[in-house]
Chain A
């Protein structure tokens, strides 16, 4: 096993830039996720690590070793493909054994290893079946078996469970996480599904338009998004966003729009008071950080209840603010205001993000402890 590091990596397909100056390091044994919408460069990054794609500029390191010029078979990586890419004319056993007999391993050792993987992945009963007849979940496990059987330095996974149906996906996510934790192999996991990345990864690199947007633990990315893109990409239901104006007035900071007028107390807003950029900003507040207030308070906001979605343990309200914005609010199951009734809501300002209007950068972003700007 080894760490994986990308240093200023670029990928160009003709004039199209897939990855721009991407740098990150995945530590030895870490579960690292590349997350982003389709076309964000996450798959290109992964394919460059695997050696399937040439690196246009920059370097990839496994540990101390630069691997740019190594062909895929000399990198000792394993890749679990989105469509699993099992060899359709072979049995489960042959599929798992394939990378071993390509390496001319003695037959007894192959037997032992395949059996170990099959036991580990609960595939012993189907070892002699053709892979065509297997269920999606089983095929998925065979592809993982083929990947782990030769103890790769790095395990790469490209949307390994996005082809499964929703129920199975949830189960496989849990299984997969367990398997990977037990193996403790360096894993780079590519996905467009933020829930998967949040649930499984040690750290996440969020990508968009070929650029790294933020790298951090799931918690950091959720609570402290670097910019508007990250804030909007992470979280379900998504974060509420509204345009407003940021005003400084004798020691206070005030956020105003047609919908609300929020006054910050001094101690909340050290970093806001030294903000000197454009006054046109956007606020972002997650649906669970909005509460319904019984009585009118200084910072409370008028809202009209659009609809109520009952989700069992919680309800999701869709509210219309005076300025026309639609906000989603997550409330406990017993809170069920009438549709078309007027209510008052309140933002938990501790979790209020303020993004610069143009660049979308989070003004209220806090650098992780130990790092200074």
Chain B
């Protein structure tokens, strides 16, 4: 129907009007592309600059501000990055903490969200408290968390960091999952009960498969948040053999021998690549999760 009115109106236009309209459309597209290119440059340039820094000569980094290396390509920074600091331990710690905290977050957040949506658990209060937990800056609770983790004997230990990241990411996961669970019609679950499933079976075998994109998106986002988390990791970990994570590790490159921009860049890129790859692979789920979150579907 829409198509037909469109062609009719186009036929009614004179050739001149038509071409001016087409020109307008092209101009619009060019502006859009320019805007996107500018934005992409803004986002990607630092990363590109970081990569260029990582392959420059140490002296050149301080001497010149040029973007491209002038004195040949040097891979020494990449070697130093892994040797001067135990980068592999930072990455190991970050991986373990991100993976296990995300698993725990999902185990807690999925039934929580389901209970909030379907059983109205906590009435109006619980969802708004969860939102409160979501918007609160972690530094507000950093001191009590520090003392609690210390009292538990978990300071500078992987379980301690897993626990902390589970706690701070659970509200976010609930917030993200909420909109996905709400898209499942209640009747679908009722049909499953009548067809012979228990409530738990219905959750596991009917609801979860249907919100799989949401589960993946939420999981990825929680992993990214855990991977990037800096403040609490800085506060609760003291060395790489304990539980020091990648972001905290990066800050150590400005340690003993002054600021080592080249090594730092190489180390940072080493840690950014895995998370970028994950996001790249699951891109469409992450986008769905971020755009759907909090908005009723």
Give A contacts to B, CB under 8 Å. Answer: 50-52, 71-73, 75, 77-79, 81-83, 85, 87-89, 98-99, 102-103, 146
Bound-state Cα–Cα, A352 to B191, Å: 46
What A residues does B191 contact at CB under 8 A?
79, 81, 85, 87, 146
Residue of A nearest to B198 (CB): A73
**Given the interface contacts A73-B198, A99-B195, A146-B195, does A89 sit within 8 Å of B190 by beta carbon?**
no
The 8 closest A-B pairs by CB, nearest first: A102-B196, A85-B187, A99-B195, A85-B191, A73-B196, A72-B193, A81-B187, A72-B194
What B residues does A82 contact at CB under 8 A?
187
- Minimum CB–CB distance from B203 to chain A (whole Å) comes to 14
Q: Any chain A CB within 8 A of the CB of B146?
A: no
Is there contact, CB below 8 Å, between B206 and A73? Answer: no
Bound-state Cα–Cα, A98 to B197, Å: 10
Q: Any chain A CB within 8 A of the CB of B209?
A: yes
Interface size class of B (residues with CB under 8 A): 10 to 19
What B residues does A75 contact at CB under 8 A?
194
Bound-state Cα–Cα, A52 to B193, Å: 8
What A residues does B185 contact at CB under 8 A?
83, 85
Is there contact, CB below 8 Å, between A88 and B210? Answer: yes
9 pairs, A vs B, C-beta closer than 8 Å: A51-B193, A72-B193, A73-B193, A75-B194, A85-B185, A85-B190, A87-B192, A89-B210, A146-B191
**Given the interface contacts A88-B210, A89-B209, does A83 sit within 8 Å of B187 by beta carbon?**
yes
- Minimum CB–CB distance from A105 to chain B (whole Å) comes to 11
**Given the interface contacts A88-B210, A89-B209, A89-B210, does A73 sit within 8 Å of B188 by beta carbon?**
no
Interface centre among B191, B206, B210 (most CB of A within 10 A): B191
**Given the interface contacts A81-B187, A83-B185, A85-B185, does A50 sit within 8 Å of B209 by beta carbon?**
no
- Minimum CB–CB distance from B166 to chain A (whole Å) comes to 30
What B residues does A103 contact at CB under 8 A?
196
Is there contact, CB below 8 Å, between A87 and B193? Answer: no
What A residues does B187 contact at CB under 8 A?
81-83, 85
What B residues does A71 contact at CB under 8 A?
193, 198
Which of A51, A52, A88, A98 is within 8 Å of B195, CB to CB?
Answer: A98
Is there contact, CB below 8 Å, between A87 and B190? Answer: no
- Minimum CB–CB distance from B96 to chain A (whole Å) comes to 33
Bound-state Cα–Cα, A98 to B196, Å: 9
What B residues does A146 contact at CB under 8 A?
191, 195
0/1 interface trace, chain B 168-196, chain A, CB 8 Å (1 if under): 00000000000000000101101111111
Bound-state Cα–Cα, A73 to B188, Å: 14
Bound-state Cα–Cα, A87 to B187, Å: 10
Is there contact, CB below 8 Å, between A73 and B197? Answer: yes
Is there contact, CB below 8 Å, between B188 and A87? Answer: yes
Is there contact, CB below 8 Å, between B195 and A102? Answer: yes
Is there contact, CB below 8 Å, between B210 and A79? Answer: no
- Minimum CB–CB distance from A235 to chain B (whole Å) comes to 32
What B residues does A81 contact at CB under 8 A?
187, 190-191
What B residues does A88 contact at CB under 8 A?
188, 210
Bound-state Cα–Cα, A71 to B185, Å: 20
Bound-state Cα–Cα, A88 to B206, Å: 10
- Minimum CB–CB distance from B281 to chain A (whole Å) comes to 22
- Minimum CB–CB distance from B145 to chain A (whole Å) comes to 41
Bound-state Cα–Cα, A72 to B189, Å: 12
Residue of A nearest to B187 (CB): A85
- Minimum CB–CB distance from B198 to chain A (whole Å) comes to 7
Interface centre among B194, B209, B210 (most CB of A within 10 A): B194
Is there contact, CB below 8 Å, between A73 and B195? Answer: yes
Interface centre among A75, A89, A102 (most CB of B within 10 A): A102
Is there contact, CB below 8 Å, between B194 and A87? Answer: no
Bound-state Cα–Cα, A102 to B193, Å: 10
Bound-state Cα–Cα, A72 to B194, Å: 5
- Minimum CB–CB distance from A171 to chain B (whole Å) comes to 24
Is there contact, CB below 8 Å, between B206 and A87? Answer: yes
0/1 interface trace, chain B 196-240, chain A, CB 8 Å (1 if under): 111000000010011000000000000000000000000000000
What B residues does A51 contact at CB under 8 A?
193-194
Bound-state Cα–Cα, A304 to B94, Å: 88
- Minimum CB–CB distance from A309 to chain B (whole Å) comes to 29
What A residues does B209 contact at CB under 8 A?
89
Bound-state Cα–Cα, A81 to B187, Å: 7
What A residues does B190 contact at CB under 8 A?
50, 52, 72, 79, 81, 85
Bound-state Cα–Cα, A51 to B191, Å: 11
Known: A52-B194, A88-B210, A89-B210. 10 other contacts (CB 8 A): A51-B194, A52-B193, A73-B196, A73-B197, A78-B194, A81-B187, A81-B190, A83-B187, A85-B190, A87-B188
Residue of A nearest to B193 (CB): A72
Residue of A nearest to B189 (CB): A85
What B residues does A99 contact at CB under 8 A?
194-196
Residue of A nearest to B195 (CB): A99
Residue of A nearest to B191 (CB): A85
What B residues does A50 contact at CB under 8 A?
190, 194
**Given the interface contacts A88-B210, A89-B209, A89-B210, does A77 sit within 8 Å of B194 by beta carbon?**
yes
- Minimum CB–CB distance from B262 to chain A (whole Å) comes to 51
What A residues does B206 contact at CB under 8 A?
87
Residue of B nearest to A79 (CB): B194
What B residues does A83 contact at CB under 8 A?
185, 187
